[in-house]
Amino acid sequence: MDKRFAVILAAGKGTRMKSKLYKVLHPVCGKPMVEHVADEALKLSLAKLVTIVGHGAEDVKEQLGDRSEYALQEEQLGTAHAVKQAKSFLAQEKGTTIVICGDTPLLTAETMEAMLSEHQKHQAKVTILTARAEDPTGYGRIIRDETGAVVKIVEHKDANDAERQVNEINTGTYCFSNEDLFRVIEQVSNENAQGEYYLPDVIEILKNEGQTVAAYQTPQFEETLGVNDRIALSQAEQFMKRRINHQHMKNGVTLIDPENTYISPDAVIGEDTMIYPGTVIKGNVKIGADAIIGPNTEIVDSIIGDRTVIKQSVVCDSEVGVDVTIGPFAHIRPLSKIGDEVKIGNFVEIKKTVFGDRSKVSHLSYIGDAEVGTDVNLGCGSITVNYDGKNKFLTKIEDGAFIGCNSNLVAPVTVGKGAYVAAGSTVTEDVPQDALSIARARQVNKEDYVKNIHKK
């Protein structure tokens, strides 16, 4: 196989987005467009990936990290000018260079492979990925001669009426013989409606040299959607959502209402897990088998074990074991590690806490900066008082302890193994193992007090 290289064009500002965020960083299903493109490109066994950056260069670099090399395009003079910036990385190489726009997030590696096979088959110098569009407005049009051979690409703004009737569009994805690309790109001029150096002009130049120009028309128009504005962004979101959700359903996950289920492209979900509507799964999430998630639940960058049930709750940057029940209306905040067979009930907030196996906190509690052992019962209204306005302190509740309702545990403090805390206590000192701590005022009953007031 020829050596393969890829160039992602990501230097444009994206004026039509009307946004502070650079176009290629706009997320589709929670993942920036340019990252979708890079991840698919990297499936093609590339020898090199070069991303052309300009507007928001630092942000794009941060997003892709060392997955790519970067060439800076200081002024955005057009797509051919953008590709030229990769010259020092690629011009001396022999092989095939794939050029992809950073704003086509739905393009798959399979479609790029199909284009590459076509390229190989025809021994072409360039192969264009084309598609038929219902509404080709805005796209470059593929102009073929009477034999059906591609002659050139005309940009929408430069096209005459007859050319605008053509609904076969340039998807902005191509593969080139690397040497020929960097040789002829020098000849591209900017004499056109936009005063830009157009990459598609390379096709006409190669054609006029008598080189083989090929086109691969994908039946998947959806994949080639170029996102230039927020309307296209919402369409991309719909298509991507459908693609992700179908994949999970094929893998054996039940989605009760896929249109109202939002799953990140990086999520992994086990068989027979059921997801109810209004569920949003963001970032790196792993959910086990036979779990029940939702309705109206948000899970971000977390691991959820088998058979765990999470209803109307938020789980963020945490790990949850197997056979756990969470919610309704619980909030598991970052850096929490919830063990197996745990019960976390309604209106409970947990933050940066290790919560041991079989422990329970069933109602109306805040447990933060804590280490809770196994088989602990935290009664309704248990609060860890973890913050003095400046610093956070640790609460330790050892195995088998029982915390009575409406208790404050003022950290730093430890409740020993098997100890009891009486309801309504405000515990400020450590409780020894197996002790009962009562930290509240004694009850005083004033006989006939009320009756006497009314007499006055």
Among 30, 32, 56, 78, indicate the residue that binds ligand UD1 (CB under 6 A): 78
CA distance 396 to 408: 13
Q: Which stretch binds ligand UD1 (CB under 6 A): 39-47, 97-105, 384-392, 397-405?
A: 97-105
Does position 140 interact with ligand UD1 (CB under 6 A)? The reply is yes
Kind plus residue range of the DSSP H or E element containing 254? strand 254-255
Residue 401: other Cβ atoms inside 10 A: 25
CA distance 225 to 164: 18
Among 30, 200, 270, 339, indicate the residue that binds ligand UD1 (CB under 6 A): 200
Q: Say which entry of Ca ion, ligand UD1, none residue 169 contacts (CB below 5 to 8 A, set by partner kind).
A: ligand UD1
Candidate list 81, 119, 122, 363, residue with the active-site label: 363
Does position 103 interact with Ca ion (CB under 5 A)? The reply is yes
Strand partners, 101: 9
Return the closest-CA partner of residue 33 out of 46, 17, 44.
17
Q: List the end-to-end C-alpha distance of the chain, in Å, as a whole number.
A: 103
Q: Say which entry of ligand UD1, Ca ion, none residue 200 contacts (CB below 5 to 8 A, set by partner kind).
A: ligand UD1
Query: Closer CB to ligand UD1, residue 102 or residue 356?
Result: 102
Applying CB under 5 A, the site for Ca ion has a residue count of 3
Q: Say which entry of Ca ion, ligand UD1, none residue 78 contacts (CB below 5 to 8 A, set by partner kind).
A: ligand UD1
CB 192 within 8 A of CB 138: no
Strand partners, 372: 355, 397
Does position 56 interact with Ca ion (CB under 5 A)? The reply is no
Instruction: Tell the smallest beta-carbon distance from residue 227 to Ca ion (Å).
Output: 7
Does position 105 interact with Ca ion (CB under 5 A)? The reply is no
CA distance 157 to 415: 74
- Site mask for Ca ion (CB under 5 A), range 228-257, x = bound: x-----------------------------
User: Catalytic annotation on 363?
Assistant: yes
CA distance 352 to 344: 15
CB 229 within 8 A of CB 239: no
Does position 236 interact with ligand UD1 (CB under 6 A)? The reply is no
**b/e sequence 368-400, b meaning 16+ C-beta within 10 Å:** bbbebbbbbbbbbbbbbbbeeeeeebbbbbbbb
Does position 376 interact with ligand UD1 (CB under 6 A)? The reply is no
Does position 226 interact with Ca ion (CB under 5 A)? The reply is yes
Does position 120 interact with ligand UD1 (CB under 6 A)? The reply is no
CA distance 298 to 277: 11
Residue with tokens 């109306």, as numbered in its chain: 364
Any idea which residues carry the catalytic annotation?
363
Which residues of this protein are in contact with ligand UD1, per CB under 6 A?
A: 9-12, 24, 52, 73, 76-79, 81-82, 101-104, 139-140, 153, 155, 169-172, 198-200, 226, 228
